Structure 1
Amino acid sequence: MLAQRALDQMVLRGPEIGIVPKPGGLGLVGMPVYMWTERGPETYGPNTASASAGGITVNATAKVKKIVWRMGDGKTVTCTTPGTPYKKSYGKRPSPDCGHRYSQPSLAGSYHVVATSTWDVDWQATTGQSGQITQTRQSAVDIRVGELQAVGSG
């Protein structure tokens, strides 16, 4: 019960989604997609809180164990890191730890990308008891992916 009270004091959010192509922009079929989350106590951890009652204190620490990205094209990508933000200097290289490539354009206008963080909350009581609580949080974003058409002259 005290572990749950400590958890209730924490603000655990879904990933603060970073993605290239950016929402509002246009990505291309076959080009690397980079996915990441900002690293903060509310979006990736660690996040800590305590609760006390009757002379017993519980300390809890929450950290993201994994992020599962549903890419909107029927594929999922599981990342065990926060991901790497894209930089122009990376060019066409794929993400080193959390990426995807679309094989089809987003014909319905956009792909709805849903990122689900799995938080592991480890707790320890001053009585020596300990345990773990698992929580999930979601965020979503829409991105557009098109096809580059080559036009021949002749």
Structure 2
Amino acid sequence: MPVSKARHATLRTSTVALTLAFGALILAEPAYAVEPTGNGQGASTNQRGGSDKTGIYAAARIQYSGSVAKGGGTGNVTSSDVNWTPPPCWYAPYLGAKDFKKEMSKHIEDQLKAPGMGGTAGSAIGQTQRHYEDEFGWSGAPGYKDYNVENDGKGMFWAGVENPDEPDYLKRSSCTDLPFWVENGEAPPPRYEEAISPEILAALAYQHMELPDTEVTLAPETNTKVNLPTWAWLDKAVFDEVQATAALNVPGFNIQATTTARPVSLKLEPGTKDAVTYPASGECAINDADKSIGEPYAKGKADQTPPCGIRYLRSSGDGTYKLRATVTWEIDWTGTGGTGGDMPDGTFGNEQAVTVQEIQAVNR
């Protein structure tokens, strides 16, 4: 029996005291167990909860596939929207009723026996014990009689999971509600806005997505001349859409989302103010006909203005200029149940060294 909405605020407030008492609540320090990945090979992520002292582990496993970063870490796509970030934490399926009773009751018992456990912390643990053992939990709110064991196999307790790639500890550890019961095939109560969903999985796939290197082809190549237009382009053969999928599959709850990135433009930054870009904005749009960017240089075009390129106005001397090429990717997602939508554009770029010589020469 889930906790009533009227008592939800009381539970959330009391959980703070409970967290202090436990030292680390059920899923306070998740760790990743990730298999090495490559494009298309996938990776699985175990969410682990508690400290090494609790030995409590989440049952939820997020499986990544498609073009995801090797090792399962954060990918190399950066959101163009500075206000958008992947979820710092979420709630996910944790344990069945019998397993939850075994782990939670032992943990509560250990904490109640701890020296000096009293006052607010001790009271919070006592209330938590009543919440999972009696029909009435916190301040008379509906609880889970005998840890809901009579419904074992018909659902799971859900608990908070941290995103280890979130640098802000307070955000990462903000999913502090007590574990709650969800029937198989049912969605968590609406008040749990951070409950794992296709949209959250899409954001995690976005975070883990690996995009191809953005090394443009130049003509002339790494050595060009002052005032000589340098042509730049990206070939469609090595520059196509990228997909990453995140899925969560546990008994009674299976969802997934696929995030797709499509290249739309290339931005050239010469690495010096003494240069002119083509076009003037430095933004080279994608060609609708073949989805390439820019135009390959061909013999006889030396005097022409490239649709995408650079003209350096000063020699690089004994060094080089760091030409940065950044591709903007248009990103959207689709997920279980016909869900989907747009996501913030992503960017990814690389630098490459360009030598600019004083010799005035024209290639013909």
The question of a shared fold, defined as TM-score above 0.5 by the shorter chain, is answered with: yes
Task: Give the secondary-structure state (helix, strand or coil) at the position aligned to 1:138.
Answer: strand
Q: Which residue does 1:78 correspond to in 2?
A: 283
Per-residue CA shift, 1:42-76, capped at 9, x if unaligned? x6331123333333332221112322111022256
Equivalent residues of 2:294, 2:308 under 8 A apart: yes
How do 1:37-48 residues align onto structure 2 when only pairs under 5 Å count? 37-40=234-237, 44-48=239-243
Structure 1 stretches of 4+ with a deviation exceeding 6 A read none
Q: Which residue does 1:52 correspond to in 2?
A: 247
Q: Which residue does 1:135 correspond to in 2?
A: 346
RMSD over aligned CA atoms reads 2.5
Cα shift at 1:39? 2.8
Cα shift at 1:9? 5.8
Which of these two proteins has the greater Rg computed from alpha carbons? 2
Question: Higher strand proportion, which one?
Answer: 1
Tell me, in whole angstroms, the C-alpha distance in 2 between the residues paired with 1:112 and 1:8.
Answer: 27
Q: Which residue does 2:261 correspond to in 1?
A: 62
Unaligned runs of 5+ in 1: none
1:30 to 223, 227, 240: 227
Higher relative contact order (CA 8 A, sep 6+): 1
Tell me, in whole angstroms, the C-alpha distance in 1 between the residues paired with 2:212 and 2:268.
Answer: 15
Q: TM-score, normalised by structure 2?
A: 0.36
The letter for the 2-side match of 1:52 is: A
1:72–1:8 CA distance, 2 compared to 1 (3 A): closer
**When the two structures are aligned, how many residues end up with a matched partner?**
145
Cα shift at 1:149? 5.9
Tell me, in whole angstroms, the C-alpha distance in 1 between the residues paired with 2:259 and 2:228.
Answer: 41
Equivalent residues of 2:232, 2:296 under 8 A apart: yes
1:9–1:131 CA distance, 2 compared to 1 (3 A): same
2:352 counterpart of 1:147: no
Equivalent residues of 1:112, 1:141 under 8 A apart: yes
Q: Which residue does 1:4 correspond to in 2?
A: 203
Tell me, in whole angstroms, the C-alpha distance in 2 between the residues paired with 1:108 and 1:121.
Answer: 41
Task: Give the secondary-structure state (helix, strand or coil) at the position aligned to 2:271.
Answer: coil
Task: Give the secondary-structure state (helix, strand or coil) at the position aligned to 2:294.
Answer: coil
Q: TM-score, normalised by structure 1?
A: 0.76
The letter for the 2-side match of 1:92 is: D
Tell me, in whole angstroms, the C-alpha distance in 2 between the residues paired with 1:149 and 1:67.
Answer: 28
2:311 counterpart of 1:116: no
Tell me, in whole angstroms, the C-alpha distance in 2 between the residues paired with 1:91 and 1:129.
Answer: 47
Comparing 132-141 with 75-84, greater Cα deviation is found at 75-84
Cα shift at 1:8? 5.2
Q: Percent identity?
A: 28
The letter for the 2-side match of 1:111 is: Y
1:19 to 218, 221, 227: 218
Tell me, in whole angstroms, the C-alpha distance in 1 between the residues paired with 2:262 and 2:360.
Answer: 44
Cα shift at 1:113? 0.5
